[in-house]
Amino acid sequence: HRLDRALSPLDRHVAVVGFMGSGKSTLAQEVARRIGRPFVDLDDEIERRVGSNIPSFFERYGESAFRELEATTLAAVAEGDPKVVALGGGAATLPDVRRFLRERALTIWLDVDVDTCWERARDSDRPLAQDETEFRRLYEERRPLYAEVADAVARDADDVVLAAARVHVERGALQRLGELVPGDRPVALVSDPHVAGIHGADAQLALGPRLAQTHELPPGEEAKTLAALDRLWQDLRLDRTGTVVALGGGCTTDAAGFAAATYLRGVAWVPVASSLVAQVDAAIGGKTA
């Protein structure tokens, strides 16, 4: 997971990658509808541009000519407003495409087991799904490439919509906080006495050596007072590469998010919401989460 990119995820294309038969186009279409963005299927777009279907193009010109087309078509599609793009299963084998995905897209890997992919692809005319052994070999070969480019792994449209909003939902995520907080720079953990008592030790353990300091805001609405904010501003010992992690309910995430946005010239922050209010309200707008 790389959540620390320069562009806000909402300015980026959402790119769905994954193996043949994983269901990328169906999923990407659903995501596009839900987030109100144009949908582009890269294979369809290629077919439209060359005026022939992919199997005949492969047969006539070979795989490397097809790969070139994939890269140039993706670059053309990426012009203009952010879209949801379903890539072909092999696009991620191209270094240019991988660079594009890292720099310009929020890339979602639709990770589906090989048996399911094969069942769906075996009777199709896809040139690289004609032989089961080769299909399975390619599947294994490409997994590291999908993993390399992916900002998030998804099983369904809900996962993608959450990832596009930079929301990470996972049972046990608190124990993985150290990996989930972007980058490797120091972290200030901000919570309130109640939540710190319940989850503070887990969060501290998970942040490990990155944890530079802890701070407790007063519980409830009092966190959102200038006095409480002033104590936090004075207490924070981060430089501009540091991250505030706000662990708690809506008041904690409101106050810590505000403090992070106004500390130095604004530092990154990650809300770790411990209540529903914090999840649906106060956490939205976190700079990187």
Instruction: Write out the two tokens for 266.
Output: 């604004």
Provide the mask over 236-275, with x wherever binding to ligand S3P is found by CB under 6 A and - wherever it is not.
Answer: ----------------------------------------
DSSP secondary structure string for all residues of 146-215: HHHH-SEEESSHHHHHHHHTT----TTGGGGHHHHSSSSS-EEEEE-HHHIIIIIHHHHHHHGGGEEEEE
Smallest distance, Å, CB 78 to ligand S3P?
A: 17
Looking at this protein, which amino acid is placed at residue 92? A
54 binds ligand S3P (CB under 6 A): yes
Among 23, 90, 249, 257, binds ligand S3P (CB under 6 A): 90
128 binds ligand S3P (CB under 6 A): yes
Smallest distance, Å, CB 159 to ligand S3P?
A: 19
Smallest distance, Å, CB 89 to ligand S3P?
A: 3
Size of the site for ligand S3P (CB under 6 A): 10
Residue range at the interface with ligand S3P (CB under 6 A); choices 26-34, 120-128, 180-188, 232-240: 120-128
118 class by beta-carbon count within 10 Å (0-12 exposed, 13-18 middle, 19+ buried): middle
Sign of CA dihedral 131, 137, 150, 54: negative
What CA–CA distance (Å, rounded) separates 282 from 289? 12
23 binds ligand S3P (CB under 6 A): no
Positions that interact with ligand S3P (CB under 6 A): 20, 24, 43, 54, 88-90, 126-128
